[in-house]
Chains A and B, each alone.
Chain A
Amino acid sequence: MHNTATIGEDRRAGGESQRPGGESRGKGESRRLDIEAIRKDFPILETTVYGYPLVYLDNAATTQKPLAVLNAMDEYYRTINSNVHRGVHYLSQRATDAVEAARVTLADFINARHAYEVIFTRGTTESINLVAACFGKKFLQEGDSILVSGMEHHSNIVPWQMICEEKKATLKVIPIDENGELILDGLDEVLRGGVKLVAFNYVSNALGTINPAREIIAAAHRHGIPVLLDAAQAIQHMAVDVQDLDVDFLAFSSHKLYGPTGIGILYGKEEWLNQLPPYQGGGEMIKTVTFARTTYNDLPFKFEAGTPDMAGMIGLGAAVRYVQELGLDNIQHAEHELMGYALDVLREIKGFRLIGNVDAGHRAGVISFLVGNIHPFDMGEILDQQGIAVRTGHHCAQPIMDRYCIPGTVRASLAVYNTPAEMDRLAAGIRKAVTLLG
């Protein structure tokens, strides 16, 4: 469905000296990743917690960072740190080249038509807020509506609620079924009723459901409605191609993609970004300023007010190159296998209740569950005592928890460096918690 493999191949043709995962691969073939070699790229995975080797299964909250990222950021500060885009001097030009190269890397990664359609933000949340504020300001009127799904993160609910309240518009919701899938019957009818934009997540952070993005985008476009896709939980697990999806806006964070915190991406189609008013005012986003009038800069700078997070941009670029070297198809394959294995061992636990889709093929990254009547918070604490990091609670998606009438779940979330042995540790840890708490 995508062509990031092609990008990977081009890069190989260019001759890479460092290859993460340590293994060579044949041209164009899918490759079995050497997970043990990959683990060596992540120094933090050697951590010991209360005497146990760390099992890090909170990857949907944030992933760990490979040496390639740490080194790129360290090198930036050591060798070329300087403010970008304005300086005439050598360092400033080097820094500008480096951050703009990162933008090109990101554009390649999601197959954007133009690098200037890639806006650096602080993360998914800011990307969504930017579109909500700017799109809302220009296009939303009293009586209009914004359509989101019933499985959104609060970040893809609250910004829309805020702009809807301001514009006296309404927020509509695509319902979800017991299996954690969106109910799309009747979507066309809803879309006919004054919807100005559709916003939903590609993969649910609370359930792991992979939503039929292409189908929903096509349906919205039949009514001339643009779509924002929250790819925060998809971008690290599967190839995302904005042209193939024909999506209008795409948001994701660096820190869930093995990159540094505090930086993220908003992709927008040129024609949409050009129609939106600027988000924040300040340096970089202007062309000329007088007290009478300011003219705004072109894309992407129009949306990048102030000195950007240069080290973050470079770190994210390095993270994306790392992921491309592994190959997202290879990552997806490895994680899919691991997900299947995890579900198999977890299902053997008495009282284990998976929340969401039972089909491993319809989910990515996240295993949300309860065991018997054990409170997720208790389970999380007993797992922590065994060196196993999971998340507990409502995962900033309270409406989903209400949908299932549960206070929250335990969430184990996977990354490329997780192993079947760690899934065994998780299962054993849960069993121990059951003997204590059950």
Chain B
Amino acid sequence: MKVCDIVEKLNLKVIGGSEGLQNEVVGGYTSDLLSDVMGNANEGQVWITLQTHRNVMAVASLKDVAAVIIVKGLEAEESTISQSNDEGIPLLSSDLETFELSGQLYELLQ
């Protein structure tokens, strides 16, 4: 499954990094602790978080995640969006809570 398929099926908004919408998704990782993501997320996973600052994109890029989804309709900072564009890693947004969104993504990837 590709990031663009997830965008369509989970009704996500693309905020940045549309260059990477064809990235292949191999799984998901839900966490708001950046060190946890650094230590435990894997390449090609979609990262679900409520963090909105630009360090999210630094971690996303270093870990080669497929995309980042910000939950609860929270707005990403401008610098986060521009870094997402620079890195070509999709920055997506959902109005859902972390629990619901993670559940839906899990279902989708089964």
Q: Do A and B bind each other?
A: no
Q: Which chain B residues have a beta carbon within 8 Å of chain A's beta carbons?
A: none
**Chain A residues at the B interface, C-beta cutoff of 8 Å:** none
